[in-house]
């Protein structure tokens, strides 16, 4: 198993709990609670690929962050778990021949993962005003909303999932998943970077790589691992990079790379919000999901978001002092109209390309407008949109109107995404797909993929839970095949 995020760690757990032999390899280090701090710059530089400064190239500058640590994205993510939309699964069945992707067939695997990780709705007492105001805005507008379901036990609402859970409450997969693999006798090696697979006579026989220094990532000693079956779970960008470096270069490998482009708006209230308190993301609006738009209350560290405040020094300082009165809410869109790919640069690093389509740009515009409408509904006095061409500080209702009336260019609308999927799409058409609906790679034996890279299109919700369910399913199926 290569990679210990939702795909890798939970496939390993699913196999190991039933007594099967597993070796899990992870490029990043194992982190403990004292490793976490409140400096986001330090966390990004230390535990994210490319120091957290990864971007794709294409028709817009598009930052994206992927974690490099035991447990993958779960160590620093917001722990949001949602089952895919029924309409998304229907699309996977109809457009990609994935007839096994029905709720009926996947539900037992979702149930198993949700129970194992203690996935539950955020409690009222740890919401904080930032989430409560978001909930009130949804109610004012008559929209459907939910308490977000997350994997945690004893969340204290510190709002710092992005820099690691110092309370030890988040059930990230290094803590829950990898631990059980070790207890069951599985082997786990951290700080081992896999460069390529061992391919012999049309079969994969394991992988080769190097140990890396856990702090500097300097390459140290060669590693060779032999396996009867290899599962690559290095994430939507990491997996095609390994496959391509191994000579598996047919056009489908690395294709259909997709993101959920996101945006955020800051609102200023008369009342104190103290936005640093509260579940990192505690409430979301489910009202617009079928339109490809999701709205969420977001975490709100001044060090990350103050770049959206007015830039003139005196004004910046004045507003920064008002941070206790602010909230940050975000939205993301399905990304259906946008697509990219992963290729490999000389030296072996991934080359990520992505083109934002017009329909997603318009959806982002509407998402920003909806967020402003929400702020207006609960009496925010001002909003900061960060959108080029709009005033630095705006009345929320005026901002919503301008966003609906205007026609913005891609380069004017700040966007980024940490939800990446595709790159190793599954499907029945071997020209378009890398693997079948079980993640078994076409054209080569003993090789499987299990990560968000499998999704042929957006699951319509935050991506990780679907990969976890597919991982549990694969772990239950593989012993039947070997």
Residue numbers of the site for ligand SF4 (CB under 6 A)? 79, 152, 155-161, 165, 167, 169-170, 279-280
Query: Least distance (Å) from ligand SF4 to the CB of residue 327?
Result: 16
Query: Least distance (Å) from ligand SF4 to the CB of residue 12?
Result: 23
- How far are the Cα atoms of 79, 115, 219 from residue 130, in angstroms, in the given order? 18, 28, 44
417 binds, among ligand FAD, ligand SF4, none (CB under 5 to 8 A by kind): none
Residue 56 or 171: the one with the smaller Cβ distance to ligand SF4 is 171
Query: Least distance (Å) from ligand SF4 to the CB of residue 326?
Result: 18
186 binds, among ligand SF4, ligand FAD, none (CB under 5 to 8 A by kind): none
Q: Which residues bind ligand FAD (CB under 6 A)?
A: 2-8, 25-28, 65-69, 72-74, 76-80, 162, 193-194, 233-236, 238, 242, 418-419, 451-452, 462-464, 467
73 binds, among ligand SF4, ligand FAD, none (CB under 5 to 8 A by kind): ligand FAD
Query: Least distance (Å) from ligand FAD to the CB of residue 404?
Result: 28
Residue 385 or 452: the one with the smaller Cβ distance to ligand FAD is 452
> Pick from 439, 443, 440: which is nearest to 452 by CA?
439
Query: Least distance (Å) from ligand SF4 to the CB of residue 74?
Result: 11
156 binds, among ligand SF4, ligand FAD, none (CB under 5 to 8 A by kind): ligand SF4
Residue 293 or 390: the one with the smaller Cβ distance to ligand FAD is 293
Residue 80 or 138: the one with the smaller Cβ distance to ligand SF4 is 80
330 binds, among ligand SF4, ligand FAD, none (CB under 5 to 8 A by kind): none
User: What is the C-alpha to C-alpha distance for residues 4 and 26, in angstroms, rounded to an integer?
Assistant: 6
Query: Least distance (Å) from ligand FAD to the CB of residue 417?
Result: 9
Query: Least distance (Å) from ligand FAD to the CB of residue 367?
Result: 17
Residue 162 or 273: the one with the smaller Cβ distance to ligand FAD is 162
Residue 109 or 402: the one with the smaller Cβ distance to ligand FAD is 109
44 binds, among ligand FAD, ligand SF4, none (CB under 5 to 8 A by kind): none
279 binds, among ligand SF4, ligand FAD, none (CB under 5 to 8 A by kind): ligand SF4
Residue 43 or 248: the one with the smaller Cβ distance to ligand SF4 is 43
Query: Least distance (Å) from ligand SF4 to the CB of residue 170?
Result: 4
160 binds, among ligand SF4, ligand FAD, none (CB under 5 to 8 A by kind): ligand SF4
For 325, the token pair is 């009165």
Residue 279 or 383: the one with the smaller Cβ distance to ligand SF4 is 279
Look at the chain and count its residues: 482
157 binds, among ligand FAD, ligand SF4, none (CB under 5 to 8 A by kind): ligand SF4
Query: Least distance (Å) from ligand FAD to the CB of residue 262?
Result: 10
């Amino acid at each position: 198993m290569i990679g210990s995020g939702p795909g890798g760690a939970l496939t390993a757990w699913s196999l190991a709990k039933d007594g099967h032999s597993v070796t899990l390899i992870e490029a990043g280090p194992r982190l403990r609670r004292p490793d976490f701090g409140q400096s986001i710059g330090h966390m990004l530089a230390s535990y994210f690929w490319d120091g957290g400064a990864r971007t794709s190239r294409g028709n817009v500058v598009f930052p994206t962050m992927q974690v490099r640590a035991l447990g993958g994205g779960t160590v620093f993510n917001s722990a949001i778990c949602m089952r895919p939309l029924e309409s998304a699964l229907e699309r996977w069945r109809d457009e990609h021949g994935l007839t096994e992707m029905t709720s009926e067939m996947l539900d037992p695997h979702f149930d198993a993962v949700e129970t194992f990780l203690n996935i539950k709705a955020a409690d009222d007492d740890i919401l904080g005003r930032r989430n409560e105001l978001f909930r009130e805005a949804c109610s004012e507008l008559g929209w459907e909303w939910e308490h977000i379901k997350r994997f945690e036990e004893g969340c204290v609402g510190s709002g710092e999932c992005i820099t690691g859970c110092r309370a030890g409450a988040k059930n990230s997969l290094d803590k829950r998943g990898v631990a059980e693999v070790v207890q069951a006798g599985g082997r786990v090696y951290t700080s081992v970077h896999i460069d390529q697979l061992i391919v012999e006579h049309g079969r994969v026989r394991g992988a080769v790589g190097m140990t890396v220094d856990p702090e500097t990532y300097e390459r140290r000693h060669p590693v060779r691992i032999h396996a009867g079956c290899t599962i690559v779970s290095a994430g939507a960008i990491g997996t095609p990079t390994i496959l391509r470096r191994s000579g598996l270069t047919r056009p489908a490998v690395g294709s259909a790379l997709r993101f959920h482009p996101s945006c955020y708006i800051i609102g200023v209230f008369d009342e104190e919000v103290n936005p640093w308190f509260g579940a990192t993301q505690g409430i979301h609006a489910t009202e617009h999901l079928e339109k490809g738009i999701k709205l969420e209350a977001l975490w709100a560290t001044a060090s990350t978001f103050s770049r959206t405040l007015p830039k003139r020094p005196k004004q910046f300082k004045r507003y920064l002092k008002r941070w206790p009165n602010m909230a940050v809410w975000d939205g993301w869109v399905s990304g259906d109209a946008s697509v990219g790919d992963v290729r490999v640069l000389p030296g072996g690093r991934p080359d990520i390309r992505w083109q934002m389509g017009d329909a997603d740009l318009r959806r982002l515009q509407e998402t920003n407008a909806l967020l402003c409408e929400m702020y207006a509904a609960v009496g925010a006095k001002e909003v900061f949109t960060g959108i080029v061409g709009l005033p630095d500080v705006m009345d929320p209702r005026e901002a919503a109107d301008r966003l609906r009336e205007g026609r913005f260019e891609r380069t004017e609308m700040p966007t980024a995404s940490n939800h990446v999927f595709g790159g190793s799409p599954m499907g029945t058409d071997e020209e378009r797909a890398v693997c079948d609906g079980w993640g078994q790679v076409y054209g080569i034996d003993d090789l499987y993929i299990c990560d968000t890279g499998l999704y042929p299109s957006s699951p319509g919700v935050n991506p990780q839970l679907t990969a976890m369910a597919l991982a549990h399913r694969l772990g239950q199926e593989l012993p039947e095949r070997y």
